[in-house]
Structure 1
């Protein structure tokens, strides 16, 4: 207890952070084509890994959800990446990761190609168990995490699951990656990160299986909002205005959470697919193929309505900014951050 009090005291005394806590989410592209390859690349200071670290250090989050990082059983890759951040001057000593559903074998032929064990036969798309998982890094201690990732899709109330063979519905999990409730111990009370990374609502057929699952992965939180300050955070893989998918659930979540509408400093030329978009370009968080979906807003930090937001942004610098090269080299996603007044965390929220 004394150790925890000392950590919190040091955090509260650290300049601007004495008033705010910066919560961020980022898909840093830290996923590879086989187990162990990410750890290898981190250890050899691969340029893509170092670019992702540079983006994170520039954003200086107090709490960070990574939605694109390979998981390994001993947590070696996450520990090695945390060491890179510490070496760059931004220590985040508290961390959490658990085995994601991505790449987890089901033992079934889910895609109907006559073979088992493929990437599309896993609980969530993945070439190996742990590929493209999630992780939390934090300057503040973390409380006991609730991992909801084993919930079956069929068990979600009012789910949109299409008709599946009984042997599939009996094992098919809702989470394509994970659903976590992660309490961040702020010293003013816990701030719950309600974290998830959803399947994209595309790459399926007329049954709209991925679109339905994407919808229900967000709908899960409508049934699990805690009676405490929370932040809905992660990669719902859904642009409410310009993307494919079913926006109803994300809209319903905004009855309980606020959208700070974080914006980037730079927006690329609105050509190709972007020319037909109706959403505000500055809100985009993904730089996708201009001939395909174009740039979209798919990463979110949505604090509960009772929390006071003091700032927000998307790390998308102009091309002449020294950080721009690292942002482009790291990932096709952009880091999103929101600053929350610590005093408001202790005031409670009404979900």
Structure 2
């Protein structure tokens, strides 16, 4: 388990108090088929998808933004280049588990070294990873990175019985991408950003290995809050944010786990709503205004999979889901940007 990860471009910020804080997450899907290709496209400056993403971020203007589905590299060059013209003095990233080789045949097809055999699906390490942009200073020495935690070490891990052998379990990590606890300093006190991206609960067989792992990646935060891990959750305010790939009402996956997180009394669900966005799918039970992903119909359709969940001690001022204009010819974004405005209670 690695506590510290790479913190980049950490610069002094102004000392003026900031009472209102906009915290957001966006599955931006800025990913390419090889290492360094996203950085190349960012540096060219004319990629319509990248420019549209940057424009959307400027419009919504979150103070803290977790990007998921963003190709990362070991030195953070891609994130630094992406943030160059955005107003974020502090950025944080670290290559996660997607595409990280294991040397094992994890999909049991008799072939080694395929994307399916990595810690989680990926053609190279860091493909579709996570990146954090912040206008607040990051407490770099207090960052906790749980991405190396083995899946079997999670209490009551829902491992698929008989599918993985002992050698697989010696190296298979829980995080398909990453689990981070990143503290930022907000008016002199830390706000902990519990950040993660979970695997999709599909693309497997009857053993349901992806569905089980997806559920455990969300259950991780309940164990962290309960003190059930070697490192207990720190005291104080926090926000759970990221892409759980799990809707509490519709789609595949163990939806009861998402219900358990959303109903935990230590957590608030602001239920960010879109003024416009995906329409209801036939047979879906969830409110379509809460959906954050617009996938092909009829399956899986539109789902709520991206979340910003503040701790109960914070005041929620406003919340929403901001979609890139569907009429925009540059719109290749299947997820909306989820934002929540917060204040600290007196």
Same structural fold, with TM-score higher than 0.5 when normalized by the shorter chain: yes
Deviation at 1:66, TM superposition (A): 0.6
The correspondence for 2:274, drawn from 264, 270, 273, is 264
Native 8 Å contact 2:11 2:89 kept in 1: no
Give the secondary-structure state (helix, strand or coil) at the position aligned to 2:167: helix
Q: Distance in 1 between matches of 2:325 and 2:93?
A: 33
Matching residue of 1:94: 90
Deviation at 1:185, TM superposition (A): 0.7
The correspondence for 2:243, drawn from 235, 238, 241, is 235
Residue pairs, 1:278-289, within 5 angstroms: 278-289=285-296
Give the secondary-structure state (helix, strand or coil) at the position aligned to 1:48: helix
Q: Which has the higher strand share?
A: 2
The more displaced of 260-269 and 20-29 is: 260-269
Residue 156 (1) aligns with residue 154 (2): yes
Q: Deviation string for 1:238-287 (max 9, x for gaps)?
A: 010112111222222231211100011113444xxx12211111101111
Native 8 Å contact 2:56 2:324 kept in 1: no
Matching residue of 1:253: 261
Deviation at 1:8, TM superposition (A): 4.5
Q: Deviation string for 1:274-306 (max 9, x for gaps)?
A: 122111111011110013211111100000111
Q: CA RMSD in A?
A: 1.8
Q: Distance in 1 between matches of 2:299 and 2:181?
A: 34
With normalisation by structure 2, the TM-score equals: 0.89
Native 8 Å contact 2:101 2:113 kept in 1: yes
Native 8 Å contact 1:234 1:301 kept in 2: yes
Native 8 Å contact 1:42 1:81 kept in 2: yes
Native 8 Å contact 2:73 2:126 kept in 1: yes
Q: Which has the higher helix share?
A: 1
Runs of 5+ consecutive residues of structure 2 not aligned to the other structure:
1-9, 226-232
Residue 128 (1) aligns with residue 131 (2): no
Q: Distance in 2 between matches of 1:62 and 1:330?
A: 24
- State the 4+ residue runs in structure 1 displaced beyond 3 angstroms: 267-270
Deviation at 1:124, TM superposition (A): 1.1
Q: Distance in 1 between matches of 2:152 and 2:107?
A: 18
